[in-house]
Amino acid sequence: MTAVPARALVTPTHEDQLEAEQAKDIWAMSLFGHSGRLDFTAISQPWLREGAKRWAIHDLIRRRGEGATTVLRAHVAALAGLSESLRAHRSDRGLIIRDLGRPDIELFLQRLTYLEHCEKITALSRSLSCRKAHHALRQMRLLGLTRAGYPLSGLPDDFAFRREDIPRRPDRQTPNRSLPPEILAQLCDALPLLRTRMPKGLAVAIELLIDTGRRPGEILNLPWDCIDRDHDENYVLVYDDLKNNRPGRRLPITQATAQLVTTQQKAIREQFPGSNPASLVLLPSDEDPDGRRPMARHRIGRAHRGWIASLPSPLRRSDGSSYDLTTITPYSYRHTYAQRHADAGVALDVLAELMGHELLSSTQAYYQVGEKRRRAAVDRLADHRFDRHGNHLWRDAQALLDDEHARHTLGQVSVPYGNCHEPSNVQAGGGFCPFRFRCVGCDHFHTDPSHLPELKAYLHDLLRDRERVLATTDLENWARTEALPSEEEIRRVKELVHRVQEHLEQLAPAEQADIAAAISAVRRTRQVTSLGMPAIRGKPDPSAGLERP
């Protein structure tokens, strides 16, 4: 009997599997810790295909989260376009690497320009294709793949993209992907239908997406013990930010959301009584006998589409028009979460923390106040302005000039309690006042109801500072006089607050509601520069907007 080699009895290691997979032209990304497949077969030149594989392996090291495969696919597609250009325009079909040069890059760029002119691709696709091909090719060079013995050995230096080759990315208005409040309310009303028609785990996953605004992968990978309490004994959800490699993130949640999680915890504990709770996940796969592996993401997408399609009646906007159901995806709830908190007045830096963003610009992309809505809000408040004495400034809202709208957006002459028309301060963008920002005593100052919270906070600061200065024994008389807020300033601010509040109370209920909506829209777009004035006390409550409609 022939002896079987010992090596044949050994199960291949993960490293062996990775090496074997890298030799293929179609990768199963699960071996690399990601989902889907990555196909290199559209790149016909062996040197470019092998170079793309080597670069992809190095790029995967820094990729985390669910979108890694999608990002790599886009770069491989751009290289496939370069490969097709070489194959079409060169007699050697791009196979002889040493004969390549700058003219081949220019032919690729011209080909993309022609495809855009024929409307076969968009201007955005052209820009992204150039950008991604440039990035991948540059990274191959930086990895040393042009050295002797490597796939790109002999590639001429002029076979490269220049910065000026990359077309400018076209300006585009990012669509608002958040759901209108009335649509979200109708979806929440339909949640009982979801619970009766879907497996319990999928229904819980969708409800958690609505309540928490987390990414689908973050919800699906929640551990069984994902609920904790903060120092105020309020509930927090403990999750891992997989995209940014930030484990143990803590998100404030409502008691209703916490109850949803604890109910699911109890069900999972009863389903897997013999498993260690520390190894369980909150939403396990049906195919896992131990409850340790989370359900696949495609299941939540499929269940969500089925639930939306099964709604007994169409979703209606506030104006009665039907809402396009195809635009509602699991990720829509993340945008809606951000918009809901922005509407509740949560500060941008607090909202960025809630969303798990390191850059404020990332958070700003998740919510918006449309230009049309902003202009309408500014016009709505134009008839409700007051001077420093609290006198109502009557003015035709239709006469509001476009440059005034622009100034409001840019905050060029905004001051913490209103707006300033003093010429030198306007020229300085609101950063210089020859009168040391004594706004309530200046004829260049006017305000409107949207500044009422700041006026109240300023009055509170003045009263507090007065009591503090009067109570101290550490100041000399001249210093006490300088530090003590004047009774006249306190009286003026009190009177201004009273006049604005009295004006609002005299409006009809419907008009009060319109003004409140306009104030909310204006405050979210206001940019007030720090002018060295007394700090505004009080921060928005970060828990505002947590409740679903």
> Please, which pLDDT band fits residue 194 given cuts at 50, 70 and 90?
confident
162 within 8 A of 131, measured Cβ to Cβ: no
> Please, which pLDDT band fits residue 129 given cuts at 50, 70 and 90?
very high
User: How high is the pLDDT of residue 7?
Assistant: 39
- Give the CA-trace dihedral at 505, 443, 478, 481, to 10 degrees: -10
Q: Which residue has the higher pLDDT, 153 or 520?
A: 153
Nearest by Cα to 394 from 240, 313, 253, 503: 503
CA–CA distance, 327 with 304 (Å, rounded to integer): 12
Q: 503: which 2 tokens? A: 């004006």
Neighbours of 253 (CB within 10 A): 21
Q: Which residue has the higher pLDDT, 510 or 388?
A: 510
* String of DSSP letters for 285-308: -TT-SSS-SBPPHHHHHHHHHHHH
Q: Please check the confidence at residue 542 and state whether its pLDDT lies above 80.
A: no
260 within 8 A of 84, measured Cβ to Cβ: no
Q: What is the mean pLDDT of residues 48-69?
A: 85
CA–CA distance, 39 with 72 (Å, rounded to integer): 10
CA–CA distance, 164 with 109 (Å, rounded to integer): 11
Q: Is 179 exposed, middle or buried (0-12, 13-18, 19+ CB in 10 A)?
A: buried
Q: Please check the confidence at residue 285 and state whether its pLDDT lies above 60.
A: yes
Reduced to 3 states, what is the DSSP secondary structure of residue 116?
A: helix
> Please, which pLDDT band fits residue 420 given cuts at 50, 70 and 90?
confident
Q: What is the mean pLDDT of residues 296-323?
A: 89
* 320-334, 362-376, 387-401, 469-483: which is most confident: 320-334
User: How high is the pLDDT of residue 401?
Assistant: 45
368 within 8 A of 335, measured Cβ to Cβ: no
Neighbours of 439 (CB within 10 A): 27
Nearest by Cα to 68 from 23, 37, 22, 25: 37
The beta-carbon contacts of 130-135 under 8 Å, at least 24 apart in sequence, are 130/78, 130/161, 130/165, 130/166, 130/167, 131/78, 131/166, 131/169, 132/74, 132/75, 132/77, 132/78, 132/79, 133/75, 133/78, 133/79, 133/81, 133/82, 133/108, 133/161, 134/161, 134/165, 134/166, 135/75
CA–CA distance, 5 with 3 (Å, rounded to integer): 6
> Please, which pLDDT band fits residue 176 given cuts at 50, 70 and 90?
low
pTM (predicted TM-score): 0.56
Q: Please check the confidence at residue 536 and state whether its pLDDT lies above 70.
A: no
218 within 8 A of 251, measured Cβ to Cβ: no
The domains found in the chain, sorted by start residue, are 15-165 (no CATH), 181-364 (1.10.443.10), 371-525 (no CATH)
CA–CA distance, 466 with 472 (Å, rounded to integer): 10
CA–CA distance, 34 with 156 (Å, rounded to integer): 35
- The backbone region for 257, taken as left when phi is positive above 0, alpha when psi lies in -120 to 50, beta otherwise, is alpha
> Please, which pLDDT band fits residue 526 given cuts at 50, 70 and 90?
low
What tens digit of pLDDT does each residue of 344-374 get? 767 778 888 888 888 877 787 777 654 455 5
Q: Please check the confidence at residue 254 and state whether its pLDDT lies above 50.
A: yes
Q: Please check the confidence at residue 286 and state whether its pLDDT lies above 80.
A: yes
What tens digit of pLDDT does each residue of 460-500 get? 888 888 888 888 888 888 888 888 888 888 888 888 888 88
141 within 8 A of 157, measured Cβ to Cβ: no
User: How high is the pLDDT of residue 452?
Assistant: 83
Q: Please check the confidence at residue 315 and state whether its pLDDT lies above 70.
A: yes
* C-alpha separations of 294 from 297, 458, 468 in Å: 9, 52, 58
Q: What is the mean pLDDT of residues 170-190?
A: 79
Q: Which residue has the higher pLDDT, 205 or 453?
A: 205
Q: Which residue has the higher pLDDT, 372 or 280?
A: 280
DSSP state of 331: T
CA–CA distance, 410 with 397 (Å, rounded to integer): 20
Task: Please provide the average confidence, as pLDDT, over all residues in the chain.
Answer: 81
133 within 8 A of 105, measured Cβ to Cβ: no
